[in-house]
Structure 1
């Protein structure tokens, strides 16, 4: 079963569980986000205690920061 993502109202917290981290990164679901973490596209959680996993917003910011060789327009076109 696919777990839905959750969008916080207002602002993004500095530490996020998987559902918020997935939403922050713009992924379609938590499962997709976790697969991307495993593949190395996103950082590992800063807290990993059993099933509890927490990601740092600063780490996610670095992972999703556009780079000169990355075509942002291609990402936007995929979302249409």
Structure 2
């Protein structure tokens, strides 16, 4: 998911607030090509303590 969706998913008030915490509270994006940044839901779930065992294995599972 893109940065705006990821920010909303983890409950941040803005994309800027989310991005300021990437690398400390939240993981970095799994895709970082040019200006494109994408996060996996599974990685964000782990960061916010919402992980389950039925998560996608990797980016190939979301294509």
Question: Which band: TM-score by shorter chain?
Answer: 0.7 to 0.9
Please give the root-mean-square deviation of Cα atoms over the aligned residues, in Å: 1.1
Please give the TM-score of this superposition, normalised by the length of structure 1: 0.60
Which ranges in structure 2 are unaligned for 5 or more consecutive residues? 51-63
Higher share in strand: 1
**Large movers: runs of 4+ above 4 Å:** none
Larger Rg belongs to? 1
Which ranges in structure 1 are unaligned for 5 or more consecutive residues? 1-15, 67-80
Does residue 49 of structure 2 align to residue 49 of structure 1? no
